[in-house]
Amino acid sequence: MGSVRLSHPVAVAALALAVVLAAMAPFGALRERGFDLYQTLWPGDVPLDRVAIVAIDEASLAAEGRWPWPRARIGMLVETIAESGAAAIGLDLLFPEPDASADGAASDAAFAQALTRTPSVLAMTLAADAPPVRAEPKAGFSFIGAGADAFDRGYGGGVAPIAPLADAAGGLGVIRSFADADGRMRAIPLVWAEQGPGAPLRHWPAFSVEMLRVAQGEAGLAVRMGGAGDDALRVGGAIVPLGDGRLRLIDVPASPMRVSAADLLANGTDSALDGRIVVLAVDAAGLDRYHLTARGELRLGADLHAIAVSQMLAGRFLLEMPGARLAEFALLAVGGLAILLALAFLARRPALAALTALGMIALPPAIGFAAYANGLLIDWTQPSAGLFFVALAGGYGLYRQAERRRRTLQTQFAQFLSPEIVRRLAETDARAALAVEDRPITVMMVDIRGFTALTGSWPADKTVAALNHFLAIANAEIFARNGTIDKYLGDAVLAFWNAPVEQPGHADLALEAAQAIVARVERENASLTTKGLPALSVVAAVETGTCSVGNMGTADRVDFTAIGPAVNMVSRLEQQCKQLGEPVLAGPACAGAASGAMRRVATVNLRGIDGPTEVFAPQQ
């Protein structure tokens, strides 16, 4: 079995694969957009029936006055929410300064009393260059495994509620979050570490985590850091995988239930809030930030907190698959290798090679969506894009190789093969097709009758012009039926069919060509004579048989030719045309293979052929 030579297309594709593998790591943004596409095409489902948002909206501002409101009024709103049966109330609002209204101190005191009487959580934030937080965490942390120093210590302080409010609240949670480089909010940190100069290390829960803790009446949080992919945060009965320390948000199309603060202040309690974790937030133009999410929507920060709480309650998470990076590289490497093998082994079958490449390109998204259906993330965009690049490079290489092969075949065989046969050779293994082999072919010889006498009676230039006229007709009719011209034999042309490529009905094609040449030469004699050239009469002989066909010759000269009994037969039959008075004669094998009607002309003895031979002609 011969070896498969890795040709230029494979080299081009291999180089492309190496470039893609080397460039894969830096494209983290493309990876995240691939994760986004999962949620865009197949949005996740997280039940939002245990959360709600009380919005200080345009209607509330119209009814109660512009923001900020007196804190006593906010306290009344908090108490109304609590009386509605809320399990916890998270105020997505910052209170770093005392109330600036005329009765500010009393207002702050009334607000603090409301916080004390309700399951409330106040918001805070951390920053690297902020002063130390003048409040103590409400949640105690217990660390199992790696210890408390496992989280980033880059925050030296922050902004917290004033002391009376912080002391009165049931919880304090960090509302800060970070958008990715493309501005999309995909995940929120769950645990924050703060350590100012000379101060002890302190941990703070995310706002959503703290609301869940307060709703469950838990005093503390437990963090397990095993370093084996099972790191998790325990919030009462909820176990939250830590992953990279952040909770990846499932960007559900639905929104949490909303209640206008104006309705609660005007009408009192709302039973729809019973048992829910409620986020109180400002939802008015210019007063709060909206965040671009994974699916490309703009959502209020309160929506993201509510979704995060819902994910933890329902146990619905999106986690990067263990070993995802290695799996992504493997998908690219294995798929790239498969494409390289397809280019090497299927170079002459481009459709099958293309199907192989398409299958490899489609494999990463198929695996990716199957993993996503089970809450696991693996990037498909980089492997598929890389494989597309590899396939494109290989396809370009195949195209260039095919063009070189076509040009070579065109240069070598255009005078002897029809354009259609040259094209078909270019699409197959030309080296194998042109190798010497025994195969059935139909041979035709067509000759000018009386050419020797003609050369003696006509000037050389006119004789050559008439000969060229005949050869042009023969070439055209042979090529019109995709025949192969073996050679010119003075005033004769030897051609055959069914080589170098298979041609069903090759006996019929040869007979048609012979009759067409004879008829066309006779038809165009009038134009020859008007030019002062001699009229021509031609005869043809056709026979079918198994011959040796292929490139034959020496190192200095090679011809694509045929040798065998059928070739010998036509050279003898052609000489019988004059004696039998037939312009076209066929041997017995050709007559048997022809689909058209053939008539028996005679039985003759041919020189060099053993025994008598039956001779046939096409039925007129």
Phi and psi, residue 216, nearest 5°: -95, 0
| Position 415 in a domain | no
Closest CA to 74 of 95, 58, 88, 59: 95
Instruction: Provide the domain count of the chain.
Output: 3
Residue 6 reports pLDDT greater than 50: no
Give the per-residue pLDDT at 326: 86
Give the per-residue pLDDT at 2: 42
Per-residue pLDDT tens digits for 269-292: 999 999 999 999 999 877 777 899
Residue 436 reports pLDDT greater than 60: yes
**351 & 450 share domain:** no
State the amino acid at position 397 in one-letter form. Answer: G
Closest CA to 491 of 532, 534, 548: 534
**402 & 445 share domain:** no
Residue/partner pairs of 318-321 with CB below 8 Å, 24 or more apart = 318/35, 318/44, 318/248, 318/250, 318/372, 318/375, 318/376, 318/377, 319/241, 319/243, 319/248, 319/375, 319/376, 319/377, 320/243, 320/244, 320/376, 320/377, 320/378, 321/371, 321/376, 321/377, 321/378
Q: Which residues contact 590 (CB under 8 A, 6 or more apart)?
A: 442, 507, 510, 511, 542, 543, 544, 616
Residue 587 reports pLDDT greater than 90: yes
Question: Mean pLDDT, to the nearest integer, of 239-248?
Answer: 89
Q: Among residues 287, 315, 343, which one ends one of the domains? A: 315
Question: Mean pLDDT, to the nearest integer, of 464-482?
Answer: 93
**406 & 434 share domain:** no
Per-residue pLDDT tens digits for 187-199: 999 999 888 887 8
Looking up residue 461, the CATH number of its domain turns out to be: 3.30.70.1230
As a whole number of angstroms, the distance between CA 55 and CA 440 comes to 88
**Which carries the bigger pLDDT value, residue 3 or residue 351?**
351
Per-residue pLDDT tens digits for 32-85: 888 999 999 999 999 999 999 999 999 999 999 999 999 999 999 999 999 999
As a whole number of angstroms, the distance between CA 549 and CA 441 comes to 9
Find out whether 317 and 247 touch, Cβ atoms under 8 Å. yes
Q: Among residues 345, 375, 410, which one ends one of the domains? A: 410
Residue 15 reports pLDDT greater than 70: no
As a whole number of angstroms, the distance between CA 90 and CA 302 comes to 9
**335 & 216 share domain:** no
**253 & 371 share domain:** no
Give the per-residue pLDDT at 4: 40
Phi and psi, residue 602, nearest 5°: -170, 170
Question: Mean pLDDT, to the nearest integer, of 115-129?
Answer: 94
Peptide bond into 200 cis (omega under 30): no
Residue 435 reports pLDDT greater than 90: no
Per-residue pLDDT tens digits for 364-383: 999 999 999 999 999 988 88
**563 & 585 share domain:** yes
**149 & 120 share domain:** yes
**486 & 378 share domain:** no
| Position 423 in a domain | no
Per-residue pLDDT tens digits for 315-326: 999 998 988 888
Give the per-residue pLDDT at 386: 81
Give the per-residue pLDDT at 408: 66
Range of the domain at 329: 8-35+321-410
Give the per-residue pLDDT at 342: 84
How many residues are given for the chain? Answer: 620
